[in-house]
Structure 1
Amino acid sequence: MVDSICTRRRLLAAVGATSVSAVAGCSSTLFGGDVEYIQDAPVGEVTGPWPTYQHDFARTGATTDPGPSSDATESTVLELFNLHPDSQVMFTGDRGALALSPDEFGGSYTSFNINENTRSWNVETTGSAGSVTIAGNAAFASTSRGIRVYDIRSGDLCWRANTGSPFLGNAPVFVSGKILSWDSSSVVAYDATTGEKRWTFSFEDTGPNSVGLRDGIVYIQLETGVAAVDAESGDQVWRRSLFPGIDQRIVIGDESVYYSAEGGKLYALSTEREGETQWKTSIPNEYGHSLAVSNNRIHVSASDSSDRGVLTTLDAADGSTINIEKHPDGRTSPPIVADGTQFWLGDTTLYASDADTGSPKWSLDVNATVENYSLPSVHGSNLLFASKNGVVKISDGA
């Protein structure tokens, strides 16, 4: 409930402005409810080159930044020995942040400057760490113990709440001054600055797997369907159910939600006609699909029975197949698109293809040890990913 939450205004009224610093770290016992307020989060616009999972809240995986060219080489930006990455590297300006899992009992968040070779800060969590969203100088992190909000300049905790999920694609969603986080039973919108609860969307029959956003509508991925919710009020707009179980996170295009179902089916659901099915098509492999979308193309990664990577390019208008490429590296990590080039990171090789046709352009063998969650992100002409032993940069100027 809203009245159980400590906001800066109430804190000042209760203890006086001169006493705020003395209670900056006070506990949830004082505040009550599921939110612990410490200080205002330095929230701003979401303007970084790669501020959240798959670049934006529609999870398109597409950016207008160019990424590297065929002349690119590999270098290490930050050494992190034997720490397993749990997210893409997110950026605001030249400052990066990512989640790590040093062991099975907890995780941590690390920040660094792309032009330096040392950490700016590192904070540990008692639960598993998930992906980060950066808005201004506020870093919103979803963990198994709930959402955590940090000042990305210092690593100081601003506020935290119990609702959260640590999985790779579950980066919190920022919209109109609110931050959306979710667990197995509900999606909660918090005031991004103070943590004050704005609305809750709960489920009785199923839980949300992930959440996306486009044009003021929140799209909630369910076990067997999709729900659309107004981002301002939290009211349901429409809901589609009774699909086959979903295999990977939804991706939201200009007019469609793309839903990858178990059994090798891809559905395009209309965002304008209450989730009406526009088309469905078969995609390679029955399980393990990851999606990206850009310029009327859907990019699907999967692996075949021989553990080879399969990249399929589809026409977003009707789902027809444009191209299929197979690579010896068998991973189902999502592709990304940078200014007309599709990038996909295999076990040992970075592949670059034409995003419109799917035809190969070039490839680069990498020396770094690629982990399961080593997913690339783009910062200008650089492509970066976290490996087992550090943050790796693929760049023309590396």
Structure 2
Amino acid sequence: MLQGSDDDSNTDAPSLYRTKYDWCVPGDLEVDSVVGDTVLGRRDITERRSETREAIALSAETGSITWSYETERDVDHFTAVTVDDGIYLTRGGPQDGNGVVALNMDGTKRWIVNTAVGYERPRVANDTVYVADSRVYAFDVASGDLRWEYNLQGSRLSPTIVDVTDTVVVETGYTVLGLDPTAGTVRWEFETGDQVIGEVQLSDGISYVMTSDRIAASSDGAEQWRTEFDTTTAQTGESIVGTTSDRVFVFTSGDDGDAHQLQAFEVATGERSWTSEPIQPIVQPDFEWTPRTTVYGDIAYLGGETLRAIDATTGDELWQASVGDGPIKTLTVINNGAEADHTVFVQGGETQLATFTPDGEQTWSHSVNAPDRVSAIGEYVFVGTDNEICSLNRLEKS
């Protein structure tokens, strides 16, 4: 087993044991990605040394640890890993533990740059690693050398790199910037005045910018349209759920946090196409759960007390299904390779997992002990608590 750290040392890894899952590994471990037959993630190891995290790789088939990488500095967070030609993440610590970490695919250190960075995972494109804090930084993927930096002067909120295509798009709280990916110079700006930006998404070269009371479309900084949310129910924007070729979808809530709705807007004009019926939050004795929603292809999926599939063009309900004793706590769409072929993965209530085809046929189910978190990546399902992470292959288990 290969292990690494800032000083190429580490302590022994946790033991592996088997249950009704394919495998379980003790420890507080977050899974970020599956690449081939390797599971990549991060693990909290504060029981061994105060305020320490490590990146870790496991065999997807057996759960055995392939390698682990522990930083030598006190670190209170690692971001989720970004995988490209290597593995990239940022780290933050109470004193001088901030920086960008680049690892080779075998877990050995490629380079580390000690600099102030935010809590967002790095973006990798054009042989460059992009990160942001009070500045936007661009580092060479091979060497870690600084290619350029841009000072976000006057930024009042933590910036986020939204996407990197032919432009580095950065959201700074009240402004969306388009930076040249090679030189770091400003190509365009889009300002929202006194409206704090809630979310930005890019699709086909258009930036969709959501604030608390509106959704706007911008092309190279020029506003194409702006539409207010439904004022009759005092709706507030919560998230941009997704886009299709002709619509952008926004999840909103009432001014007191209830009466959630999914609203669809024409991408060309901003005209509201349809608004879903109000979706009430799920209130149980120990928690209040915000409904889950996502859009894939021509279907919008809503997870409340049941799983509902909505025609993304018309807003009409296609089907609905109950999973366990409800509500839907996890909702993920898994791409099966073909353009429209996908699988819908859900967790219903505390213990029931299930998958559905786009037309509502249930294809798999599995019961688990009430986990803290559940995720699905490809054929693998990961069930985690603060004490362990377990895996099963949904294509082999029933």
- Which TM-score band (shorter chain)? 0.5 to 0.7
Question: Is contact 1:251–1:291 with CA below 8 Å preserved after alignment?
Answer: yes
Identical residues among aligned pairs (%): 13
Cα gap change, 1:291 to 1:375, in 2 (>3 Å): farther
Match of 1:79, as an amino acid? C
1:395 paired residue number: 394
SS of the aligned residue for 2:80 comes to strand
* In structure 2, distance between residues paired with 1:350 and 1:382: 23
Equivalent residue in structure 2 for 1:150, among 63, 81, 103:
103
In structure 2, the gaps of 5 or more residues are 9-19, 93-97, 324-347, 352-368
2:114 paired residue number: 162
Q: How much does 1:362 deviate?
A: 3.4
1:217 paired residue number: 167
In structure 1, the gaps of 5 or more residues are 1-23, 28-37, 39-74
Q: How much does 1:228 deviate?
A: 0.8
For residues 322-358 of structure 1, give each alpha carbon's deviation from its aligned partner in whole angstroms, at most 9, with x where no partner exists: 4254452745697555555556778xx8946347248
Question: Is contact 1:336–1:377 with CA below 8 Å preserved after alignment?
Answer: no
Match of 1:278, as an amino acid? W
1:258 paired residue number: 208
Q: How much does 1:303 deviate?
A: 6.4
Equivalent residue in structure 2 for 1:112, among 58, 63, 70:
58
Q: How much does 1:227 deviate?
A: 0.7
For residues 276-310 of structure 1, give each alpha carbon's deviation from its aligned partner in whole angstroms, at most 9, with x where no partner exists: 15223327887782333131444445666887794
Q: How much does 1:177 deviate?
A: 0.6
Alignment of 1:20-59 (within 5 A): none
| Larger gyration radius, structure 1 or structure 2 | 2
Cα gap change, 1:242 to 1:193, in 2 (>3 Å): same
Cα gap change, 1:93 to 1:211, in 2 (>3 Å): same
**TM-score, with normalisation over the residues of structure 2?**
0.64
Q: How much does 1:93 deviate?
A: 2.6
Match of 2:69, as an amino acid? V
Q: How much does 1:252 deviate?
A: 1.2
**CA-atom RMSD, angstroms?**
3.9
1:94 paired residue number: 37
- Greater strand content: 2
Aligned length: 314
Q: How much does 1:217 deviate?
A: 0.9
Cα gap change, 1:216 to 1:141, in 2 (>3 Å): same
Cα gap change, 1:307 to 1:363, in 2 (>3 Å): farther
By relative contact order (CA 8 Å, sep 6+), the higher-ranking structure is 1
Match of 1:265, as an amino acid? D
Q: How much does 1:229 deviate?
A: 0.8
* In structure 1, distance between residues paired with 2:385 and 2:316: 26
For residues 39-96 of structure 1, give each alpha carbon's deviation from its aligned partner in whole angstroms, at most 9, with x where no partner exists: xxxxxxxxxxxxxxxxxxxxxxxxxxxxxxxxxxxx85653556264xx622323323
1:267 paired residue number: 215
SS of the aligned residue for 2:183 comes to coil
**TM-score, with normalisation over the residues of structure 1?**
0.64
Question: Is contact 1:95–1:111 with CA below 8 Å preserved after alignment?
Answer: yes
1:179 paired residue number: 129
Equivalent residue in structure 2 for 1:234, among 158, 176, 184:
184
SS of the aligned residue for 2:210 comes to strand
2:225 paired residue number: 278
Cα gap change, 1:124 to 1:175, in 2 (>3 Å): same
Deviates more, 1:303-312 or 1:158-167: 303-312
Q: How much does 1:122 deviate?
A: 3.0
- Greater helix content: 1
